[in-house]
Amino acid sequence: TPESSSTGAPVQHNAELFERAKHSIPGGVNSPVRAYGSVGGTPRFLVEARGAYVTDVDGNEYVDLVASWGPAILGHARPEVVRAVQEAAARGLSFGATTPSETELAELIRERMTAESADGVLAPVEKVRLVSTGTEATMTAIRLARGFTGRDLLIKFSGHYHGHSDGLLAEAGSGLATLAMPGSAGVPAPIAAQTLVLPYNDLDAVRTAFATHGDRIAAVIVESAACNMGVVPPEPGYNAALTEIVHEAGALLIVDEVLTGFRVGSAGYWGASLADGPAYMPDLFTFGKVVGGGMPLAALGGRAEVMDYLAPLGPVYQAGTLSGNPVAVAAGLATLRLADLDVYATLDAVSARLQSAVSQALAAEGVAHTIQRAGNLFSVLFSDTPATNYAQVQAQDAFRYPPFFHAMLEAGVSLPPSVFEAWFVTAAHDDVALERIIDALPAAAKAAAA
Ligand code: PLP
């Protein structure tokens, strides 16, 4: 793999730092995909992120298409957000007590999760609880669904990632897809046995599971649009049909919008999907990433009747020293307030331009590919045939991605270091940033073709 920077200088400090990190941190990283395991080479140690760019310890600047895996919807270090964080920090980093701003954020989330449908205005998020990570949000939503229904089984879909709690690591996407791990060691078999894993976009599989285990299934958890095995959107009407099956059986539907929420549209993928599809009302949603504006903050929200099962009102326990942390809430509030309809229009336009440039470059080199998209999120599948499930995603020519990735990196563009991740654009990707990406594509496509 190439080991030179965008300026042609050797990747010196990055390599030294990686060796040093590996002595004190397992694999040198605090989250597995950062280790570049599936693309090879040396991870870049970042020291600054601003607008559409990140800078590594050697002073190399890259146009960034990772966006911290989603949160940086406005671009990195947007001055208004940074100011809000600084002002909140100056008033105290953490109180471990109720604050006025956490109610403002809960109200804003409720307001944003309102959408017009053929059935009138839908507002499925009546109450919100703030937590610190997406993992906590999904873990709590599942405990809540079990507490509410008095049932134990959970259905998840193959290739969907919902964080790293025990019951959710079976056939999960993201880092597990990247490392080709079917699950994780350390999950007790009785816990794993509470999760049924089904193929995505296959309603008959869901019907069969409910026919067999119906009265034992507490919930189905689904990514609003799957984005952790690369992007695999739900087939038209899939989420609505799923809701119907789940509700008929007295179970709850948890729609995971940790990645898509407030990124693909003002009311997440759920809101966007109502524009041209049937109405549906999930019981619970999970949010993360954008909702914290780059700080550790996530949330779950949904029907008041269900949410009120949480302590202190109800019997389902959940808590957190840093839940609703005032500095994180300030970042989330500032980010959501700035993410207006113009921002979403910009994200859509940037994404569309990039998708067509990538496709053109790959086509010019005769590389079989499909651009898989869900709103402004997209990824490149190295196959002519679009994928609708995990098995199809795994059958692609994944070996083409590492040389493509490294050619882009060498030209100063930072892509997700795995073919199983979405590409994230920001509203700060202006013409200059886009042209740098587009200029880098022909050589990368050539590398992918080799
Ligand atoms: N759910 C989805 C859909 C995600 O994409 C992620 C993270 O990528 C999570 C849950 C877990 O969130 P976190 O990494 O904040 O724990």
Here the CATH number for the domain that contains residue 50 is 3.90.1150.10
CATH number for the domain spanning 276: value is 3.40.640.10
**Is 66 or 174 the better-scoring residue by pLDDT?**
66
- Coil, strand, or helix at residue 367? coil
Indicate whether residue 171 lines ligand 1 (CB < 6 A): no
**In a 3-state reduction of DSSP, which class is residue 364?**
helix
Q: Are residues 132 and 29 in the same domain?
A: no
Residues 230 and 90 in one domain: yes
Rounded to whole angstroms, how far apart are CA atoms 51 and 35? 24
- Regarding the beta carbon of 258 and ligand 1, being less than 6 Å apart is answered yes
Crossing angle of helices 79-90 and 326-338, in 10° steps, is: 160
In this predicted structure, the answer to whether residue 360 has a pLDDT above a threshold of 70 is yes
Final residue before a domain boundary, out of 281, 311, 338: 338
* Catalytic-labelled residue, pool 289, 344, 390, 401: 289
Q: β-strands 195-198, 153-157: how paired?
A: parallel
DSSP for 223-285, written as a single string: ESSB-SSS-BPPPTTHHHHHHHHHHHTT-EEEEEETTTTTTSSTTHHHHHHHTTS-----SEE
Peptide bond into 312 cis (omega under 30): yes
C-alpha of residue 303 to centroid of ligand 1, in Å: 22
Q: Residue 9 pLDDT > 60, yes or no?
A: no
Q: Do 116 and 312 meet the contact criterion of CB atoms below 8 Å apart?
A: no
**235 phi, psi to nearest 5 deg:** -70, 155
Q: What's the gap in Å between 159 CA and the centre of ligand 1?
A: 13
Q: Are residues 96 and 170 in the same domain?
A: yes
Pairing verdict, β 252-257 and 217-223 = parallel
Q: How would residue 178 be classed by pLDDT, with cut points 50, 70 and 90? A: confident
At 187 the three-state DSSP class reads coil
Which of 289, 306, 338 marks a domain boundary? 338
Contacts of 188 (CB under 8 A, 6+ apart): 166
Minimum-distance ligand 1 atom for the alpha carbon of 223 = 3
Do 297 and 128 touch, CB atoms closer than 8 A?
Answer: no
For residues 158 and 295, what is the distance between their CA atoms, to the nearest angstrom? 29
Burial class of residue 34, CB neighbours in 10 A (0-12, 13-18, 19+):
middle
Cβ–ligand 1 contact at 228 (below 6 Å): yes
Residue 405 and residue 319 share a domain: no
| Any domain includes 69 | no
Same-domain status, 306 and 405? no
Residues 137 and 20 reside in one and the same domain: no
Residue identified by tokens 């990645």 is 259
Which of 136, 255, 289 to probe ligand 1 with, by most ligand atoms within 8 A of CB? 289
User: Are 106 and 51 within one domain?
Assistant: no
CA of 221 to the centre of ligand 1 (A): 13
208 domain-assigned = yes
113 with 301: CB under 8 angstroms?
Answer: yes
Ligand 1 atom with the smallest distance to the CA of 163 is 11
Ligand 1 atom 10: the closest Cα is on which residue? 162
Q: What is the mean pLDDT of the chain?
A: 95
Pair (325, 345) in one structural domain: no
- Give the per-residue pLDDT at 200: 98
Rounded to an integer, the average pLDDT of 147-171 is 94
Establish whether 161 is a catalytic residue: yes
User: In this structure, is residue 76 part of a structural domain?
Assistant: no
Percent of the chain with pLDDT over 70: 97
Last residue of a domain, one of 338, 362, 394: 338
297 close to ligand 1 (CB < 6 Angstrom): no
Q: What is the four-CA torsion angle of 83, 88, 93, 99, rounded to 10 degrees?
A: -150
Domain shared by 123 and 187, yes or no: yes
Torsion angle of the four alpha carbons 131, 134, 135, 137, in this order, in degrees rounded to the nearest 10: 50
In tens, the pLDDT along 118-141 reads: 889 999 999 999 999 999 999 999
Backbone angles phi, psi at 435, to 5 degrees: -65, -35
Tell me phi and psi for residue 431, to 5 degrees. -60, -40
Q: Ligand 1 centre from 195 Cα, in Å?
A: 18
Cα separation, 292 vs 334, in Å, equals: 9
421 lines ligand 1 (CB under 6 A): no
Query: Residue 42 to residues 2, 5, 34, 443: CA-CA distances in angstroms?
Result: 9, 11, 10, 20
Average pLDDT rounded to a whole number, residues 143-168: 96
Q: Count other C-beta atoms under 10 Å from residue 26's C-beta.
A: 10
DSSP state of 96: S
Judge whether 204 counts as a catalytic residue. no
Residue nearest to atom 13 of ligand 1 (CA): 134
Is 166 within 8 Å of 191 (Cβ atoms)?
yes
For the Cβ of 162 lying below 6 angstroms from any atom of ligand 1, the answer is yes
Alpha carbon distance 322, 155 (integer Å): 30
3-state secondary structure of 130: strand
Same domain, 347 and 329: no
CA distance 227 to 69: 11
SS3 347: helix
Q: Assess whether pLDDT exceeds 80 at residue 425.
A: yes
Same domain, 199 and 294: yes
pLDDT band at 7 (very low <50, low <70, confident <90, very high): low
Spatial distance between the Cα atoms of 252 and 410, rounded to a whole number of angstroms? 47
Number of domain units in the chain: 2
Whether 148 maps to a domain, the answer reads: yes
pLDDT tens figures, 214-270: 899 999 999 999 999 999 999 999 999 999 999 999 999 999 999 999 999 999 999
Shared-domain flag, residues 328 and 345 = no
64 is catalytic: no
Tokens of 271: 């809101």
Residue 91: give the domain boundaries.
82-338
Q: Output the CA 190–ligand 1 centroid distance in Å.
A: 24
pLDDT recorded at residue 119? 83
Residue closest to 251 by CA, chosen among 111, 151, 378, 143: 151
Cα–Cα distances in angstroms (integers) from residue 422 to residues 146, 307, 367, in the given order: 31, 31, 19
How close is the Cα of 31 to the center of ligand 1, in Å?
12
